[in-house]
């Protein structure tokens, strides 16, 4: 039996990278998907791929920092599919800089997209999850929400906030059978994840250096993250809530 049969999922940042991998995997496991994001083209391409494989999906333009946009997208999901059971908060932004190299605009953008967006989507989803008798919120955090590294002041702060929000919401809504968990990846082969490598003076050397720091000897793949998100979204994790799970190839085992 498919692991998400009969479930309706809402995935932000779903047109590319980790979000797209989650959408494709969820569809294979029987869910119907609302793929949300700011860029319509990638969203529609993901929907076509799902539909060509026999699944069901809809593309919804949504800016996670805009409350009305979020509420409209979630209402459209329920109108289209009849319910909401799973939310994946994946929209993200990063700036490579220490605190004194981070502008007000960069700080505001990173915190708004990663933390405030996660809050607004999760808050707006609660009535729909209650109406379904419970559900799962899975936040895409970061290993940098648990530990820190240089040149990531705003990103570390925002992702640490996601970790804290995950735990707080898990406690607040456990009695409603709404589980809230957080996946904390290290560097993943996505456009956003590889930003620091692309911008390094010697990208190839930087990639080797980053890979050598990971005990399993490779960078993460979007599909690696999607598999853990699938577990947390499914009934297999029925007794898991408030967890912030490292997914880092052993990086933080040192």
155 is catalytic: yes
Residue 152 near residue 96 (C-beta atoms within 8 A): yes
CA distance 144 to 133: 33
Residue of 16, 87, 155, 188 with catalytic role: 155
User: What sign results for the dihedral spanned by CA atoms 143, 144, 146, 148?
Assistant: positive
User: What sign results for the dihedral spanned by CA atoms 18, 245, 138, 119?
Assistant: negative
How wide is the angle at C-alpha 43 spanned by C-alphas 37 and 46, nearest 5°?
140
Which residues pair with residue 61 across a beta bridge? 37
Largest CA distance in the chain: 53
The DSSP code for 115 is: I
Q: Which two tokens stand for residue 237?
A: 């994790």
Residue 92 near residue 143 (C-beta atoms within 8 A): no
Residue 46 near residue 20 (C-beta atoms within 8 A): yes
> Looking at the annotation, which residues are catalytic?
155
């Amino acid at each position: 039996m498919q692991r998400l049969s009969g479930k309706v999922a809402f995935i932000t940042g779903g047109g590319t990278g980790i979000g797209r991998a989650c959408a494709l995997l969820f569809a294979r496991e029987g869910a119907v998907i609302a793929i949300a994001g700011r860029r319509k083209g990638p969203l529609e391409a993901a929907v076509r791929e799902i539909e060509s494989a026999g699944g069901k999906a809809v593309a919804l333009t949504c800016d996670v920092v805009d409350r009305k946009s979020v509420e409209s997208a979630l209402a459209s999901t329920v109108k289209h599919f009849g319910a909401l059971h799973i939310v994946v908060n994946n929209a993200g932004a990063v700036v490579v800089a220490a605190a004194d190299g981070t502008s007000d605009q960069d700080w505001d953008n990173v915190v708004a997209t990663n933390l405030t967006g996660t809050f607004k989507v999760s808050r707006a989803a609660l009535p729909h999850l209650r109406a379904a008798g419970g559900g799962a919120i899975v936040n895409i955090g970061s290993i940098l929400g648990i530990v820190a590294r240089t040149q990531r002041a705003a990103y570390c702060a925002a992702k640490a906030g996601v970790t804290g929000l995950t735990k707080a919401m898990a406690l607040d809504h456990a009695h409603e059978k709404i589980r809230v968990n957080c996946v904390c990846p290290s560097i993943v082969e996505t456009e956003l994840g590889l930003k620091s490598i692309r911008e390094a003076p010697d990208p190839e050397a930087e990639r080797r250096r980053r890979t050598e720091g990971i005990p399993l000897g490779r960078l993460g793949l979007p599909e690696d993250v999607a598999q853990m998100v699938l577990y947390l979204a499914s009934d297999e994790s029925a007794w898991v809530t408030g967890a912030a799970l490292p997914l880092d190839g052993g990086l933080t085992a040192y």
